[in-house]
Structures are given as C-alpha cells and as structure tokens.
Amino acid sequence: MKLAERMSRLGTETAFDVLAKAKALEAGGRNIIHLEIGEPDFDTPKYIKDAAKKALDEGWTHYVPSQGIPDLRDVIANYIATTRKIQVTRDNVAVTSGAKPIMWYTLLMFCEKGDEVIYPNPGFPIYESVINFSGAKPVPIPLLEKRNFRFDLDQFKSLVNDKTKMVIINSPNNPTGSVLEHEDLVGIAELAQKYNFVVLSDEVYDRMLYDKKFESIASLPGMQERTIILNGFSKTYAMTGWRIGYGVMKPEWALLVAKLMTNSDSCTCAFIQRAGITALTSDQSEAEKMMKEFRQRRDLFINGLNKIPGMSCVMPEGAFYAFPNVQKVRKFSSCKELADYFLNKAGVACLSGTCFGEYGKGYIRFSYAQSRQRLQEALSRIESALKEL
C-alpha cells in the first residue's frame, strides 16, 4: 500500500531514538547515564498525585469539554493574566493532551502551501517537522553562539516577507538554554504588526530561569491578539508522562483548537485536568526547590564541561540543557558520531546538535536532569573517553 505523500514530510524527536538505544545497552548490562531525554528526574509532587487519585474517586473518568474543564481554564487564565499582565479569561484558553498539540493545531489552522514559517534553529525538532507537514515552508533563523544563541534581529528582518504567516519563538530555549532579551521581543513584535503574522510563543520553560525574569511577547502592546502562548505542566511540575498542556490565544482561535481536539483526542483526560488545577493553585515550593537544585547542577556541569579539553559551553540562562561546542574534537566527522561515541564508549547518552537543526552542527546537547553525583560521574567518563582518542 502506498502511503500518503505527507508522511514523507514528517520528522521525529531523536531523543526518544537515543533513549531506546541507551535502554537496549542497559538491558545488556551496561551502566548508562541518561543525559539525552528532556525531562526532570524528580517525581511529580505528592499533592498533585493525591489530587489525581481524589479526582478518580470522585468520578472524573468520563468525557469533558474538548476545550478543557472550565475550572482549569479559569485557573490557567488567572495564572497567565497575573504573570503576563494581560487580560485573559477562560475563553482564551484551550487545554490539550500535552503542549505539542498546540504546535500541531495552530500550524494546521494557519499554515498551508505558499506560506512561510520562521523558527529557531537549533530548536525543538518538532517545529520544523510540523511546518513541513502543514505544507508551509520552514525558514530557519540561526541561533549563533557568538550572540549567546539569541535572535539576530537584522537577519530576522531579512527573512520576513509578505509570505511569512507565523514566527515561532522559544525562550528559554531548548536546546541552548538561551533567553530572548526585551529588545529581541520588541523587534519581533514590530515586524509582526508590520507584516501581520502570528507569533507562536513556546513558553514551557517560563518558570525555569536562573537569574532573569521571564517576559512574554504577548505582554507587549498590540501583541496579545496575534500571539499564541504555548505552555504546559511537564517541566515545572515534573509531569511529562501526564500529558497535559494548554494554549492561550484569541477566543475564536481557542474554539478552533477545541474543534481540532474534538476531531482527534475528544478531550484531555478528566482526572489529570483536576490535578492540573491543584498544581497551579497549591504551594509552589516543590517547583521552586527543583529549580534551586537545577541551578546547582547547571553550575557543576557547565563548569566541568569547560575544564575538559576540546569542549566549551556557554552558561545557559534557563531550562536544564547544556549545549557545548565540540568543534575542537577532531577525531569525528560529525557531532552525531561523537554523541554515539559518548554513548557506546563512555556510557553517557546525549544528543548531537544536528538533532535540533542544521545550525546545531558542531554541538552536543546534554540534559543535566540527573543527580549531581551522576553528573560528576558523566563528566569523568566523558573526559576519560576523550583522552583515549
């Protein structure tokens, strides 16, 4: 049977492929340090799990509205209104099974053949995949180390034209940990209003900054009505497997997301939505404690990488990823070969920079979502493996 042509345009998320390889090595008796997958190693806080159990006992096991439970949408609206200083009600919110569907639904809503979408590169690989799937043309904006992996506004201006339908931004960024400055957001906003394009603002790491205060482009004058905020619970509350996310946008767009939900997932799991209410409204000390630990891990791991000959790494400002430059390691023809070497020789699972786009060439991504002891062990293994070259 011949598959539809669109399937050839669909990419993947390599982290899960590397995870499978690492698990296979573990099954064969190898000790693997997992720095490949982008998820907190902490358990979901007990009060959130208890809320899910209570919701099950209360009978939250049936269909709920495709747009999301009104109570949860109210809580999300309050969170976004308070933190972004914008007017938001439940009508602006659509709840989905994880944050990825917001990428899918909004790109399918707006983009088709003949349109162009600008996206960060290196960046989350699903951006390019879904842009291609929608039929639009992916236009990468290079994030270069010399600019601390921020947008080059002059280059960005050169990419924008009348075909630009959407621009995707992600701050803090996966895989680099970079954060867009106020001037970057202002420059993007000015062009968005001049050329009338939509901004998809991926804000899943909004609570994961080390020194700077988070700023959303939706907070800038004239931008709320043309911005789609993408967010979720996976990172902040260590809820990656729960699959709950949301988008905040114009009410008429939120209804279209709900329509797409009706045609695909029907609705997001009811008892998990109840747990989401508890996550956002209860004491936030567990999330804050997790970020304090990530800061210590960041400092330990980045400083350790910078002591290894052949490697250099910019200090990330957010998220929990290291993106070291490995171009001085000359024994390998590609960063993918080096990542494979670290896995097979050192037992350290990581990702090549090219997993995140062509401008990731010469880099490796490590997720430092492991204990400090394991991170120290990973550094020792990496250094030893490089000495054997």
Which pLDDT band holds residue 13 (cuts at 50, 70, 90)? confident
Q: Are residues 220 and 295 in the same domain?
A: no
Q: 330 pLDDT exceeds 90?
A: no
Q: Are residues 308 and 224 in the same domain?
A: no
Over the stretch 260-319, which tens digit does the pLDDT of each residue have? Answer: 999 999 999 999 999 999 999 999 999 999 999 999 999 999 999 999 999 999 999 999
Please state, in angstroms and as integers, the Cα–Cα distance from residue 356 to each residue in 124, 206, 232, 323, following that order. 6, 20, 21, 11
Q: 14 pLDDT exceeds 90?
A: no
Other Cβ atoms closer than 10 A to 260: 19
Catalogue the long-range contacts made by 14-22 (C-beta closer than 8 Å, 24 or more residues apart).
Answer: 14/125, 14/351, 14/352, 14/355, 15/351, 15/355, 18/339, 18/343, 18/349, 18/350, 18/351, 19/349, 21/343, 21/349, 22/343, 22/349
User: What's the pLDDT at 34?
Assistant: 96
User: What's the pLDDT at 9?
Assistant: 92
**What's the pTM?**
0.96
Domain-ending residue, one of 257, 281, 305: 281
Average pLDDT, stretch 54-59? 98
Q: 333 pLDDT exceeds 90?
A: no
Q: Are residues 323 and 383 in the same domain?
A: yes
The CATH code of the domain that includes 154 is 3.40.640.10
Q: Are residues 114 and 198 in the same domain?
A: yes
Domain-ending residue, one of 247, 281, 315: 281
Dig out the tokens for 381 from the structure. 């293994």
Q: Are residues 118 and 232 in the same domain?
A: yes
User: What's the pLDDT at 43?
Assistant: 97
Domain-ending residue, one of 261, 281, 301: 281
Which pLDDT band holds residue 16 (cuts at 50, 70, 90)? confident
User: What's the pLDDT at 308?
Assistant: 97
Mean pLDDT of the chain, nearest integer:
97
The CATH code of the domain that includes 22 is 3.90.1150.10
Lowest mean pLDDT among 7-21, 158-172, 322-336: 7-21
Q: 383 pLDDT exceeds 90?
A: yes
Q: Are residues 100 and 204 in the same domain?
A: yes
Q: 386 pLDDT exceeds 90?
A: yes
Number of domains in the chain: 2
Q: Are residues 31 and 87 in the same domain?
A: no
Average pLDDT, stretch 112-133? 97
Host domain of residue 125? 51-281
Over the stretch 36-45, which tens digit does the pLDDT of each residue have? Answer: 999 999 999 9
- Which of 111, 53, 15, 11 has the alpha carbon at shortest distance from 343? 15
Residue 188 identity: I
Q: 331 pLDDT exceeds 90?
A: no
Q: Are residues 334 and 232 in the same domain?
A: no
Which pLDDT band holds residue 92 (cuts at 50, 70, 90)? very high
Q: Are residues 127 and 196 in the same domain?
A: yes
Over the stretch 222-258, which tens digit does the pLDDT of each residue have? Answer: 999 999 999 999 999 999 999 999 999 999 999 999 9
Average pLDDT, stretch 159-184? 98
Q: Are residues 341 and 360 in the same domain?
A: yes
Average pLDDT, stretch 164-184? 98
Q: 192 pLDDT exceeds 90?
A: yes
Provide the 3-class DSSP secondary structure of residue 142: strand
Provide the 3-class DSSP secondary structure of residue 229: strand
Q: Are residues 173 and 251 in the same domain?
A: yes
Q: Are residues 123 and 182 in the same domain?
A: yes
Q: 15 pLDDT exceeds 90?
A: no
Over the stretch 128-148, which tens digit does the pLDDT of each residue have? Answer: 999 999 999 999 999 999 999
